[in-house]
Chains A and B, each alone.
Chain A
């Protein structure tokens, strides 16, 4: 049973990890924003809950396939043995995600994306609040850093508001109160979901292990919600069978989303909630880029609309930059370590495991793949191959050149950030 405090960590190493976390936050924004693109190819009259469920199926396959490929599931098992209580936290976080995502669907239905998006985007402000309250973030950080983080988050929120006003999706009025409450509720659920994230990473858990357990809660809760929405398993199955031609695009959206989410997890681990989460909210900029350049969403609209888009984008970028320049001081890192010691004492987690996690190294080396890993990879590949074989080519007009350019950009971001993560932490 470990009760000692964590021995002091090397400051230069922590600084590098912090920079890596910030980089992961920006990469998360790029990939989370791109995840919207495949779903835009789907124009069929599917129920929003079904769309969400199908994306989660892709997410589930990716969340077990990627860890199997990157580290081997034996490492996931080793993590679970070190801190089994985090499995419950991860499942809880997955349930929070599923309910929040479903609430956003109703919010869009009732008040439209333009009003709903900034409302649920306040999740990053709540993330900062929980980070400060529960995990000692920004304590001893100094006025300049407080101003950088809070001012940056507020600027991003205001920019998101402008971008959302420019968004082309609008909904008929009528159920405004329900819609506003649903959007705010989604923001509160997502903002609260970051408590389990931070808890896991202060304890030293590997993000790849955390997301694997997270996806169990996510898929379980989403299946229950979809069953209720469809009116039973038979009706849900009929809806799924009817959606065969578009299953691949939705699952692909889920797969892309997982890559963004993984970067967000590493951002939360190495930069903390107060920096990592607002940075990953730059996804709105990327979503807008895909919408404008690839799907021609704002074509032919007035000059004032472009002014809104440019103004909003500049504000989001400036807010993100303010946060990126407010990295944690050694004093703040000591407070983080105090929070990690508290978690370790409470659950009796091995202090060496916690320390290794904070330093971004794996306690146990070796990533030998087992039969289970290859089986998981084979199943995930097979499911995607079958869905692709059933898929129908999209009937939506799109700018292929712009799509290729954006794809090349996000793949380059993945390569750069993935290599940095591997070199510094071996994906720990």
Chain B
């Protein structure tokens, strides 16, 4: 049961890494934080 859950979690992480949409919000968030630091 525990192994099955672990495998499932690994599958989801692998799917997330394959997801081509990830980079857009992540890059935009990092850029936003940098901008915030600069604007203060």
A residues in contact (CB < 8 Å) with B: 84-85, 88, 92-93, 95-96, 99-100, 102-103, 106, 110, 130, 134, 178, 181-182, 185, 188-189, 192-193, 195-196, 199, 225, 346-348
Give the chain B neighbours of A100 by CB distance below 8 A.
32
Given A106-B39, A192-B25; A99-B32 close (CB under 8 Å) = yes
A134 and B31 CA atoms in complex are apart in Å by: 21
Flag if A182 contacts B35 (CB, 8 Å).
Answer: yes
Residues of B participating in the A interface, judged by any CB pair closer than 8 Å: 9, 11-12, 15-16, 18-19, 21, 24-26, 28-29, 31-33, 35-36, 38-40
Would A181 and B15 count as touching, CB distance under 8 A? no
- How far is it, in angstroms, between the C-alpha of A193 and the C-alpha of B28 when the chains are bound? 9
CA distance A134 to B20 in the complex (A): 9
B36 cross-chain contacts in A, Cβ below 8 A: 99, 102-103, 106, 225
Additional 17 contacts, C-beta under 8 A, given A99-B36, A102-B36? A84-B9, A93-B25, A96-B25, A99-B32, A134-B21, A181-B35, A181-B39, A182-B35, A188-B28, A189-B32, A195-B24, A195-B25, A196-B25, A347-B15, A348-B11, A348-B12, A348-B15
CB contacts (< 8 Å) of B12 on chain A: these are 84-85, 347-348
Nearest residue (CB) in A for B40 is A106
Out of B29, B38, B39, name the residue touching A95 (CB < 8 Å): B29
Q: A192-B25, A199-B21 are in contact. Are A96 and B15 (CB under 8 A)?
A: no
With both beta carbons as reference points, the residue of chain B lying nearest to A100 in the complex is identified as B32
What does DSSP make chain B's interface, helix, strand, loop or mixed? helix
Nearest-neighbour CB distance to chain B for A205, whole angstroms, equals 14
- Give Cα distance in the complex from A88 to B13, angstroms: 10
Point out the residue from A88, A182, A195, A346 that lies within 8 Å of B39, measured CB to CB: A182
Contacts of A178 in B (CB 8 A): 38-39
Q: Which residue in A134, A181, A189, A346 is a CB contact (below 8 Å) of B28?
A: A189
Query: Is B21 a contact of A85 with CB atoms below 8 Å?
Result: no
Chain A residues with Cβ under 8 A from B25's Cβ? Answer: 92-93, 96, 192-193, 195-196
Instruction: State whether A92 and B35 are in contact (beta carbons under 8 Å apart), knowing that A195-B21, A346-B18 are contacts in the complex.
Output: no
Q: How far is the CB of B29 from chain A (nearest CB, A)?
A: 6
The 3 closest A-B pairs by CB, nearest first: A99-B32, A192-B28, A347-B15
A225 to B31, CA, bound (A): 15
B26 → chain A closest CB, angstroms? 7
Quick one: which of A95, A99, A100, A110 has the most chain B CB within 10 A? Answer: A99
C-alpha gap A348/B18 in the complex (Å): 13
Give Cα distance in the complex from A347 to B36, angstroms: 34
Contacts of A110 in B (CB 8 A): 39
